[in-house]
Copies of this chain bind each other. A is one copy, B any other.
């Protein structure tokens, strides 16, 4: 892996050598009792930080992790300063917030004192291609389990994504599409999706049963689609709608937006080949116009 994190802070303290022993009894490690945000670092700033912090704050309460979101913001600012001092101005800043130290056993401690871990990594491989050329994607065999309570949250229980990501190692594919056990399209392994149906309607999967509600997804729905005057609907999307769609977009807040060229099944058989679509280009150009960091 070339993309190993290289700078760390824990609860606002830069960590260069050893980590406190308490991390070994962290509930994030023990049970995945925590959340994370991967935030684009561009020209020494975190352009979408408000959206990330707002999601983190909203979702942490669903896992009963009390966080002072201003404090997290302060830790991130300090961390940016530390990256600056190392002349690091671009890449990914990841924040993990866990339920902190816990005893053995699932019961949460009465007082939760979260661990807040910041780390830096370079931009993921393939970011430039993702942004700038139509990409190939494939359907994953691994199916997502549904859970209303956990749906939408970017929590630390991510074995489904880990197992799905193992299904391919060929760089030809930029993303894997993930489905429910009922074969409804939900998302990419690390991206949200938008499709233009055969009838010409733009849809993005409903995430009220499963999936991660990405920051770029909400930005697309709230800003980019409206700015292009293109309606978009949150809906169930079937496998048939995917194989017959006119256009497929994949997005995340690090890599930005990708126009999909071809969709393959999990046996690497071509399912759908997508021509250039005018609305797709409009959306892609609008994102870059409003958020030039995704150029």
Contact of A3 with B by CB under 8 A? yes
Contact of A20 with B by CB under 8 A? yes
Contact of A117 with B by CB under 8 A? yes
* A190–B105 CB distance below 8 A: yes
A16, closest chain B residue (CB): B21
Per-residue B-contact encoding for A21-35, CB less than 8 Å = 1, 0 else: 101111111111100
User: Quick one: copies of this chain in the complex?
Assistant: 2
Complex-state Cα separation, A39 to B23, whole angstroms: 21
Per-residue B-contact encoding for A95-118, CB less than 8 Å = 1, 0 else: 010110111111111100000010
Complex-state Cα separation, A190 to B98, whole angstroms: 21
Could you tell me how many residues of chain A have their Cβ less than 8 Å away from some Cβ of chain B?
A: 72
Contact of A137 with B by CB under 8 A? no
Complex-state Cα separation, A199 to B156, whole angstroms: 43
**Extra contacts besides A8-B24, A105-B165 (7): CB < 8 Å:** A5-B24, A23-B23, A31-B159, A63-B159, A107-B165, A143-B147, A146-B181
Contact of A163 with B by CB under 8 A? yes
Contact of A85 with B by CB under 8 A? no
* Chain B residues, Cβ within 8 Å of A107: 1, 165-166, 169
* Chain B residues, Cβ within 8 Å of A104: 3, 5, 38, 92, 94, 119, 121, 124
Complex-state Cα separation, A104 to B142, whole angstroms: 21
* A102–B166 CB distance below 8 A: no
Partner of A31, one of B3, B27, B145, B156: B156
A108, closest chain B residue (CB): B166
A189, closest chain B residue (CB): B106
A168, closest chain B residue (CB): B107
Partner of A156, one of B32, B36, B101: B32
Contact of A54 with B by CB under 8 A? no
Task: Report the minimal beta-carbon distance from A27 to chain B, rounded to whole angstroms.
Answer: 8
Complex-state Cα separation, A26 to B23, whole angstroms: 11
